[in-house]
Amino acid sequence: MKEKTIQFIAAGLVMMLFGITMVVVGTINNYLTVNFGVDKFFIGFCASVLAAGILTGSFSFGPLAERYGYQPVMLGGVFLVILGIWGITQTETVRFVPYLFFAIGLGGGSINGVTNMLVADVYPENNSAYLSLLGVFYGIGALGFPLLTSLLLKKEMDYQTILSIVAIILFLPFILVLFITFPGTKKAEAIPLSQYFKFFSKPLILSIGMFLFFESAVEAIIPAWTPTYLMEVFEVSYDKGLYAITVSAIGITITRIFLSQLLKRLSAITVVFISMAVVLAGAIVLQVSTSWLMGMAGIAIIGVGMASFFPVMLGYTASAFPENSGTAFSIVIGISLIGNILLSSLAGFALEVLGIKLLNLLIIAFVLIMTAILSMVKHKILSR
């Protein structure tokens, strides 16, 4: 097996842990409620702490990976995710739980960034295609963790045992990364803090970051609010509403498999423009839907459209800043997470005040803004 292929497989297995990171609060909130007797406020606080950890890991991984290499950052990130999950199963004191969620987030943010950075470095000619394929592993983790937990709970296995099993399984990518050779470091010394902050003044970095700022918000709004939309508009049960999350995630995951080939044949920026048209079409279908099934189709179409955004824009970032791809990745991913947090909170307030039917208008507005930003990104990339 080629060395590049082994490195990609290792990156994919590690990326699965980031998928787990993104759904860990929702998957184990019942365990926290039953075991510690916490309320919804505490669960929400843990979700915020997790997000803060992801944001910290995202902004810091790039300079560290450029200085010390891919392997230490990946190993450290995997270890933090394992430590957090294992710690939650072992601690008997609830006050430690937020710290453990921060550790999970810090590790997850780091491995998300460093695996994307590695794949972009290993496949510089077709980085968007391989980054799309890497995103499939994220989907497997995000879908597989709650599914495995649900199946084992049905077998009357307790949460503590399930999470302990998951933590042990996660040692497999840790061991794999430990014995693999990765490309060398890009810099002999750490990037100065002043130089790091200068990247925030680069128009191309800011343009890509702002595109992902709105993209990440859409990606957060869909699983957060489409179940409620289906329940209120079509008056379906909670269980039926939750199918929206699965349908959207499957749409993104499956589409990324095909994108890994499509992006080798078509211009990446053309694919993104088409993808935004697909998202708009999905939002319109959802808006005019007269049944739950038609609404689900609209959500699935939105998922298909969103699949290309993140890998393609990270591919652009790597191509534009090949010598500082880690630092550039840190900044654009960090900006995207800020958008995720701020705009999803703003959307929640707007939907609460103005009604759930505003959801489609928000999605359409964000995508139109993304279209304008992408036009600027295209101009800046072509003029470099």
- The residues near 345 (Cβ < 8 Å, ≥ 6 apart) are none
How far is it, in rounded angstroms, from Cα 13 to Cα 176?
9
**pLDDT of 115 higher than 50:** yes
Cβ atoms of 343 and 217 closer than 8 Å: yes
Structure confidence at residue 162 (pLDDT): 85
How many residues are there in the chain? 384
Compute how many other C-beta atoms are within 10 angstroms of the C-beta atom of residue 52: 18
Structure confidence at residue 191 (pLDDT): 66
pLDDT band at 384 (very low <50, low <70, confident <90, very high): very low
- In the chain, what are the domain boundaries? 1-179, 198-384
pTM, two decimal places: 0.84
Cβ atoms of 11 and 134 closer than 8 Å: yes
Give start and end residues of each alpha helix (H) in 289-355: 292-306, 309-320, 325-354
Cβ atoms of 64 and 113 closer than 8 Å: no
- Tell me if domain 1-179 and domain 198-384 are identical in fold: yes
Most confident of 37-46, 66-75, 224-233: 66-75
Structure confidence at residue 34 (pLDDT): 80
Tell which phi-psi region holds residue 189, choosing left (phi > 0), alpha (psi between -120 and 50) or beta: beta
CA 331 to chain CA mean position, Å: 15
| pLDDT tens-digit map of 219-253 | 888 887 888 888 888 988 867 887 887 888 889 98
Structure confidence at residue 382 (pLDDT): 44
How far is it, in rounded angstroms, from Cα 319 to Cα 325?
8
Which of these ranges, 101-110, 164-173, 296-305, has the smallest mean pLDDT? 164-173
- What is the rounded radius of gyration, in angstroms, for the C-alpha atoms of the chain? 20
Cβ atoms of 117 and 318 closer than 8 Å: yes
Token duo for residue 303: 């998922």
Output the average pLDDT for the chain: 87
**pLDDT of 195 higher than 80:** no
Q: How far is CA 22 from CA 102, 105, 248, in A?
A: 12, 8, 15
| Helix/strand/coil for 126 | coil
| pLDDT tens-digit map of 282-321 | 999 999 998 999 999 999 999 999 999 999 999 988 888 8
Token duo for residue 108: 């997850």
Percent of the chain topping pLDDT 90: 39
Please provide the DSSP assignment of 190-242 as one string.
PPPHHHHHHGGG-HHHHHHHHHHHHHHHHHHHHHHHHHHHHHHHH---HHHHH
Over residues 71-99, the mean pLDDT reads 92
Token duo for residue 103: 């550790």
**pLDDT of 28 higher than 50:** yes
| pLDDT tens-digit map of 91-103 | 888 999 999 999 9
How far is it, in rounded angstroms, from Cα 171 to Cα 177?
10
pLDDT band at 73 (very low <50, low <70, confident <90, very high): very high
**pLDDT of 381 higher than 60:** no
How far is it, in rounded angstroms, from Cα 145 to Cα 97?
19
Architecture of the domain defined by 198-384: Up-down Bundle (1.20)
Cβ atoms of 86 and 167 closer than 8 Å: yes
Cβ atoms of 145 and 24 closer than 8 Å: yes
Token duo for residue 180: 């693999």
Cβ atoms of 83 and 96 closer than 8 Å: no
Cβ atoms of 262 and 271 closer than 8 Å: yes
How far is it, in rounded angstroms, from Cα 18 to Cα 138?
6
Q: Which CATH superfamily is domain 1-179 in?
A: MFS general substrate transporter like domains (1.20.1250.20)
Q: ∠ CA(351), CA(336), CA(376), 5° rounding? A: 100
Cβ atoms of 275 and 290 closer than 8 Å: no
| pLDDT tens-digit map of 315-364 | 988 888 887 888 899 999 999 989 888 888 888 888 888 888 899 999 99
Structure confidence at residue 365 (pLDDT): 95
| pLDDT tens-digit map of 135-163 | 999 888 888 888 788 788 888 888 788 88
204 vs 198: which has the higher pLDDT: 204
